[in-house]
Every structure is written in structure tokens, then in C-alpha cells.
Amino acid sequence: MELHKISPRDQNIIEHLVSLWQLSSPITSEHLRAIVEMLARFSSEPSYQEIGIQKIAEYLTSSMSVHLLSLLAIFLQKAEEEKMRPERIAKVLNRVLSPLLAVLSRLPEDIHTQSLDDLSVLSNITVGLQELSQTNSAVEAQSWLRDLPKMYYGQLQENLVATNISLEPQSMYMIGGQSPQTVHLSPDGQFSFAEVIKLSGSNVGYTYPLTSNVHTKAS
């Protein structure tokens, strides 16, 4: 797709979404505390407890996915504001999108939490890295987009049960089984690149290696 200006129709939809989100009640730490305390009382029903814990884990890993997408949005916005050359922006996107999408496409199903201890480990990793990677700079966002996916998945693999996937830079994203896509400049100076954010649908394929190896935390 081409990274052009937002159409008036899409802008209207975005404004409508924002108005709805402003009316919604965000999940607070007190809400999560009440849920976890409830789950802790289900110790005699471990299957119920594990399902609830896994759902909170999915919420946490989804928050990291949104955080990574936010860093990408910050990079593009600040790069344009700071008059970064289009060729440099394209080069950055080519380098960071593949490992970023490798994480986005596999979270949260690759993370298995079964206890409050696991949930504590996941929370420490997720919240800690989110706080550490807060930025409002194109250069810093670029650095975190390069490093954060590997840092996050690496810590999850080291401390929790997680499928071992490759996040190497040579891993490429594919659409519809076609050749790997990269970011290109169109003649008018805009960016044209594959629909890399569409992670669902039968027409999506991947060339980065996905293995079935499972890494368990050391006992």
C-alpha cells in the first residue's frame, strides 16, 4: 500500500473511533487486582484459574503489540516533522518491519502462563520494557523498533514457556506467497510498501522460519 494522506472518509471514521474510545472505561490496575484476587480464590479449580490467568497474559502481550505499533507511528510522525529524508525512512522501515511483524503475528498465542508466578514474570518484563522504551523522538523510536522486538521475545523465551521463533533481520514478510516485500519510494516521493499490518487472512504467508521448538524456563 502507499503511505499517502488520510482520506476525508477515513478521517471521519478515526474521529468517530476516538469519540467512542473516550467514552469507554479503560482497564485500571484496580480492575486487574480485583480479577487476580478472584482468580487466586479458585485454587481448588486450577482449570478455571489458568484460563483467567492466560486471558490477563493475553491482555498484557496485546498491550506490548499496541506499544510497538505506537513506536512505529511515532517514528513516522516525528521523522516527517524532523524532515528526515524519505530514503532514510524507507531504509529504516525495511530493517525494522520484519522482526516487528514476527512478534505481532505470534503474540499472544506463543506465551503460556499457568500461575500467578508466571503472570508476575510476564508483567515485570512487559511493563518494564514499555516504560523503558517510552519516547517522543524519531531517532529513539527507530532504535527501539530495531531492538525491542528481539529484547521482548528473548526475555519471554528465557523466563516463560514460549515458542522459539527467529527474529533475524533477513526474515522477510510475504503477501499471498509472492516474493518478499520491501519499502519503496513512489515517483511522487511517497512510500509504497506491502500491506504489512494485515496479519490475518488466508492470503498471508511468511518466510521467516517458525519452529515448533519450545523453550521452558529453568527449574
pLDDT per position as a tens digit, 8-29: 898 899 899 999 888 888 889 9
- Position 212 scores a pLDDT of 28
pLDDT at residue 175 tops 90: no
Give the burial class of 129: count Cβ atoms within 10 A of its Cβ; 0-12 exposed, 13-18 middle, 19 or more buried: middle
pLDDT at residue 181 tops 90: no
pTM of the model: 0.71
Query: What does the pLDDT look like over 77-120, one tens digit per residue?
Result: 999 898 888 888 888 888 888 888 877 887 766 677 888 999 99
Helix (H) or strand (E) holding 188, with range, is none
pLDDT at residue 188 tops 80: no
pLDDT at residue 34 tops 90: yes
Query: What does the pLDDT look like over 82-94, one tens digit per residue?
Result: 888 888 888 888 8
pLDDT at residue 40 tops 80: yes
- Position 31 scores a pLDDT of 93
Predicted confidence band at 139 (pLDDT cuts at 50, 70, 90)? very high
DSSP 102-150: HHHHHTTTTEE--SHHHHHHHHHHHHHHHHHT----HHHHHHHHHHHHH
Identify the top-confidence range among 3-7, 67-71, 204-208.
67-71
- Position 197 scores a pLDDT of 34
Give the burial class of 170: count Cβ atoms within 10 A of its Cβ; 0-12 exposed, 13-18 middle, 19 or more buried: exposed
Torsion of CA 86, 87, 91, 97, to 10 degrees: 30
